[in-house]
Chains A and B, each alone.
Chain A
C-alpha cells in the first residue's frame, strides 16, 4: 500500500487536467439552466447511452441568431459544465458563428483524441481523417479551452460533446425545410 499521501486528492496526477477550476465552477453553478417554453422555442433531447445521461436543450433562433438557450437534464460534471459553457458561448451569436464554434469544439475533441498517448490500445488510428493538424483557435474557444483536458480521458469525450451534438441537431431541425 502507498503512503498516507495516497488519499490526498491534491496529488492525483492528471485529475487537474480533467477537473479544471472553470469546469467545477460551471458544474456547481450552471448557467442558463432550465427550459424555454416550446413552442415558440425549439426543444431537442440528447442521450448518452453509455451512462444514461439525458440533456434537454431549448433554443430560440431569431433573425439568424441564437437569441436564447436553456439547458436541462442531468449528467456528470463534464457533461453539465460543457453544456453550461456552451450555452454561455452561443447565446446571442449568429447561427453561422455557432456552427463554426461547434465545429471548432468538436475538432478540439477529435484532434486530441487521435493523438492520445494511449499506447497499445490500437484506437489511435481510428479517426485518421479527423487528425488533420487543424489549428485550434484558442481565442475563439475562450473558456471552452478548459475542456481540452477531457481528451486525455477518452471515455469522457462523449460527456463533453453530448450538449454540442444536441445543439447541432436542434439547429439542423430548425433550419430543415418544412
Chain B
C-alpha cells in the first residue's frame, strides 16, 4: 500500500482484496463471498506478518524483564496502546487506553468497577432497545446485585431511537449505555446529542463502539462519551484483544477489575496497592502478540483512511439496498434506516417466509457467508417482531460483485423454497 499517501487520493479498493489471504479460498467449489464482517472481519497480510514477526523475533513477557527483548516487547506493546489511542483521538493514550479480552469484557469492566462504585439500591441505568447482549447483560447483572432499575430508550419502526422522552428517561439516571451503531439495524445513533443530554442529567455515558470504530472515523472528544469499548477482531485485527477507552479522571478513581500480577504496585500479607492506570485493569500477562496485531490493523486502516472506508461502504450499502429491493421487491424486508448515509454497512433482512437458517444454509452452498440468528440482540428481535434475521455485512474488502453474488444466491434460495 506504499502508493497510498495523502488524504485526497482515490483509494483502489479492488486492489486491497489481495491483501486478505482468506478471501482467495473457495467454499463448496465457489469463490468465497464473505459478508459477515460485523461478526468478525478478515485479516490482511500486514497484520498477520506483524504478529508473526513479533513472535519470531521479539517475544518475551512485558513489564518484567530487564533484558533486551523483554524491553523491546514492552515497547511494542505500549506502542500499540498509543497507536490505538491516537486512532480514536484519545487525549492521553498512554493512560486512557485499557486492553482487555474483547469489547464484551470491556463493558463488564465498566459495570464491575464504575458501576459497583457508583450504583446503589434504587439507582437507574438507561439502555436502548437496540443494544447487543454485551451491553445489556452486564447491566442486568449489576442491577440484580445492587437493586437497580433499568430504563429503555425505545426505537421507531425505521430502527432509529425515539428521543422525545429521553430527558424523562435520563432523569435521575446514574449511567447511560448505548451503541454507536446497531449490529442488527446498522443505525448510527446521534451519540453526541444523547451524551450531552445524559451529562446534563448527571449520568455517565458508556458507548459500545464495536461496530462503529472499524467503519467510521472516531474521535472520542467529539463523541462526548465517557467510556468507549471495541474489539480488534472486527477491525482487521486478531481475536483475544479488546479496547476500553475511558476519560482519565474517571479511570483514575476506579478500583481494579481483576486481581493478579501486573495490576499491583505492592502486595503484602495484609493487602495490596493497585497499580496506576491503565495497568490497574490489566491483571496477568496481557495479549501481547494480539496488541501488536491490533497496532498493525490500525496502521492499515489509517493508510487507507477512515473517511475513504466510510465513503466506500456508503456506496456499497446504497448499491446493495437498491439491488436487493429491485430484484425481490416486497419479498425482502430490510431492517433499519433507508438512507445509507444514516447507517453502517449492515443489512439485516427477512426473505419471504424462508427461515434465516435455511437462507444461510443455501447461500453457503454458493460460498456466500451471511449470519443467521438473533445477533445477540434478543430484546431488539422482540421489538422487531421476529425471532431471527439473516444479515449481510460489509467491510472495505467487499465490492459490488459480492452484492451481485448475494442477490443471485438469494434468488436460488427463493427458488428452492418456493
Contacts and interface: CB of A to CB of B under 8 A. Distances in A.
Interface of A: 1-2, 6-9, 12-15, 18-19, 24, 50-54, 74-78, 80, 153, 156, 159
A7 B408 contact: yes
A2 B31 CA distance: 9
B89 to A, nearest CB: 37
A24 B415 CA distance: 13
Nearest to B357: A76
Nearest to A49: B374
Contacts of B417: 24, 77
Contact of A9 (B357, B374, B388, B415): B415
B286 interface: no
Interface stretch (B94-102, B143-151, B259-267, B358-366): B358-366
Nearest to A1: B31
Contact of B387 (A1, A13, A53): A53
B361 A53 contact: no
A24 B418 CA distance: 10
Contacts of B341: none
B388 A51 contact: yes
Contacts of A8: 412
Contacts of A24: 417
Contacts of B29: 2
Given A7-B412, A75-B355, A76-B355, A54 B361 contact: no
Interface in B353-401: 355-358, 361-362, 365-366, 372-374, 378, 381, 387-388
Given A7-B411, A52-B374, 20 more contacts: A1-B31, A2-B30, A7-B366, A7-B408, A9-B412, A9-B415, A12-B362, A51-B356, A51-B357, A51-B373, A51-B374, A52-B373, A53-B357, A74-B355, A74-B387, A75-B355, A77-B355, A77-B357, A80-B355, A153-B361
A17 to B, nearest CB: 12
B416 interface: yes
A6 B366 contact: yes
18 contacts: A2-B29, A7-B412, A8-B412, A12-B365, A14-B365, A15-B362, A15-B416, A51-B356, A51-B373, A52-B374, A52-B378, A52-B388, A53-B357, A53-B387, A53-B388, A74-B387, A76-B355, A77-B417
Contacts of B408: 7
B352 to A, nearest CB: 13
A54 B387 CA distance: 8
A72 to B, nearest CB: 13
Interface string B15-45: 0000000000000111100000000000000
Contacts of A75: 355, 387
A86 B388 CA distance: 24
A80 B353 CA distance: 13
Nearest to B413: A9
B374 A18 contact: no
Contacts of B416: 9, 15, 19
